[in-house]
Amino acid sequence: MASPSGDWGASPYRIHCTLAVDSAARPQPGLGAELAGRLVERAAAVKAPLWRFELEIAATILESRRCFELREVPWDELSADQRSYDKVMSLCVRCTPRGYELACREFDVYLRRWGPVERREVLQVAHLQEACFDLLLATHAPLATIEPIADNDEEVMLAFRGGALPRRPEASPFAVAGDLFQPMLRRTDRTGELLKNGILSVPWTFLTASEQSAAEAESDAGKGSSIWRAQIHTGMRRPFGVQRRGFVHQVAIGLRSRPVPTQVRFHARSDAQQGLAGYEVFRTSAGGRSELIGTTNAAGVIAVPPGEGPVSMVLLRSDGQLLAKVPVPAGLPEVMQAPIADSVSRLRAQAESRVVREELIDIVARRAIMMTRTRSLLKKGRVADARKLMMELDELPTSATFGRNIEQAAKRIPAANDPAVQKRIDALFSSTRELLSKFLSTRPITDLQREVNDAAARSRPATGG
């Protein structure tokens, strides 16, 4: 695999494809060989020199079975020969009474990443060869180096692999506006060896091609420009640094966006088995407004329908509290996993805090009514009744009482495993304590008691000496 150095733009993709054909339903001798020869010719005519395409027909029953299964083969199970390529593809064709079923899957060696299975159905044999080649093109995921733009947190530049290679004027472009990409980080040591767990996706971040580089657009090679601006869709504050750090290569790999809903599963970050059920999910529009999509089911899953563009920005809320802002591409074939800093501890803390606040609201309202009645009695000269009402006021729970209730509630909540969740819990109880000092201050009661005492003193009959 080419290194991410200066030869990135001049490096073609070395692609190995294994073809398996099952014609048991309608025997067609020589179909596999005919397809193989035609696909190699088409790749040379259309994709050279960007592709160095090799194809072989599955030689054994085991190879054919693996081709049709299209499962994710672990890295250790790949042969040394397969690891020497840039892309490893499996293409299978099954003859059916109706026509032909096609399926293809790609493994990117550089990022050690399996792409989704792409499928097609063809009814006529005359269209089979072209449909197979179109499926190869659709399955291929292009790579591009990500270059941050100084003082620009909304866009990056994408420099596509093979962009410096000569290409025909009619060659298909490296990207078109709206194409979707997944940013990845590849970490290596000083010798270029991949570190353990050295390949990571940039969390909660996707890119969409927006426009080609102005310099290339003005040049003769502007057709099919290999350098594009890309818009950042992210739930992170700053997903990309201004400069590439150390031995980390920032790469984007192409994704396919489809106009169908994407299944998103929200779960606790500290426990992937704990789905966040009953949470509200909103989609934000270009104008900043949000619309309710629905609530997550018992497993924490919700279907996010496609929006105006290839990526929707959705908000996850619980009891009015914003928990996450997540970009969701349209039509991902697999369920998108969204780990959220949330837990049962926070929900219990929220419930306990709500009980205290509801009691506080009740006491504040009762106290206000009783204080108003006391002053009304004083105006009417009914000092004795005012003093009785003050005694009832003194029996109401005080801020000290509520403070003890809050401390007891906090002790009942188990500590959260996630520091971010624990911070939310602490802030929740802290804000509740602030409400006590604001609405249950003792000063209004003290001032009113002084008014009652003064009125009582004035109402006593004077005593002579």
Asked if the model's pLDDT at residue 220 lies above 50, the reply is: no
Q: Are residues 322 and 238 in the same domain?
A: no
Asked if the model's pLDDT at residue 305 lies above 70, the reply is: yes
In this prediction, residue 221 carries a pLDDT of 45
- Please tell me the distance from the alpha carbon of residue 130 to that of residue 4, in angstroms, as a whole number: 33
Helices (H), 242-343: none
Asked which of 255, 276, 294 is the last residue of a domain, the reply is 255
The parent domain of residue 319 ranges over 262-340
| Per-residue model confidence as pLDDT tens digits over 248-295 | 899 999 998 888 999 999 988 777 888 888 889 999 977 778 899 999
Q: Are residues 335 and 353 in the same domain?
A: no
Q: Are residues 199 and 293 in the same domain?
A: no
Q: Are residues 359 and 418 in the same domain?
A: yes
Q: Are residues 183 and 235 in the same domain?
A: yes
In this prediction, residue 342 carries a pLDDT of 63
Q: Are residues 112 and 170 in the same domain?
A: no
CATH number of the domain where residue 98 is located: 3.40.50
Asked which of 189, 224, 255 is the last residue of a domain, the reply is 255
* 150 φ, ψ (degrees, to nearest 5): -60, 135
Asked if the model's pLDDT at residue 58 lies above 90, the reply is: yes
CA distances to 143, 305, 331 from 186, rounded to whole Å, are 13, 32, 26
Q: Are residues 174 and 249 in the same domain?
A: yes
Q: Are residues 97 and 44 in the same domain?
A: yes
In this prediction, residue 424 carries a pLDDT of 76
**DSSP codes joined into one string, 184-236:** EEEEE-TTSPEEEEEEEEPTTEEEEEEEE-HHHHHSGGGTT-SEEEEEEEESS
Q: Which two tokens stand for residue 319?
A: 């009891």
> How many folded domains does the chain comprise?
4
| Per-residue model confidence as pLDDT tens digits over 126-146 | 999 999 999 999 999 999 999
Q: Are residues 19 and 130 in the same domain?
A: yes
| Residue 350 or 59, more confident | 59
* pTM for the predicted model, two decimal places: 0.74
* 38-47, 322-331, 392-401: range with lowest mean pLDDT: 392-401
Asked if the model's pLDDT at residue 34 lies above 90, the reply is: yes
CATH number of the domain where residue 301 is located: 2.60.40.10
Is residue 151 domain-resident? yes
Instruction: Give the position of tokens 């293809």.
Output: 104
pLDDT above 90 covers a percentage of the chain that reads 47
Asked if the model's pLDDT at residue 242 lies above 50, the reply is: no
